Structure 1
């Protein structure tokens, strides 16, 4: 098992870095996608306002293993839906 750290830059509100013991880099990639999905669902109002998230995953030595960039843009037709709901 290796420790991998998952950090999201510039998220508002701030999301603390977490560390997870995982068996492989492949497991860390899978965990990163699932973790990102959970965070996006929990903070969808902020995310859909156009904020870009960058998740950096590092190993125990804080060497970057990979980065995930996540950005969404609502279509103009959906921008007024919040007012209707």
Structure 2
């Protein structure tokens, strides 16, 4: 088993880097998606404020293996109406 590190940059509040022992790169990719989904649910209000999250996954030597960019934008249909006048 290899250790993989999952780090999200530019999140507010900061999210600590997580290390996981996983058997394959495929397992690390699956873990990254599940971990990102869990974080989005846990930090829903911060995530939906429109900040990009970039997850970088590295190996034990901190060599970047892949990144996942996560971004959400609310549609005008879900934004509150502003009234003038």
User: Smaller-chain TM-score range?
Assistant: over 0.9
Aligned to 1:72: 72
Number of residue equivalences = 81
Cα deviation code 1:46-79 (max 9, x no counterpart): 1111010000000000000100000010001101
Aligned to 2:21: 21
Cα deviation code 1:9-68 (max 9, x no counterpart): 010000000100000000000000000000000111111110100000000000001000
Aligned to 1:61: 61
Q: Hey, which bits of structure 1, 4+ residues long, moved more than 3 A?
A: none
Aligned to 2:45: 45
Structure 2 gaps of 5+ residues are none
* TM-score using structure 2 length: 0.92
- Alignment RMSD, CA only? 1.1
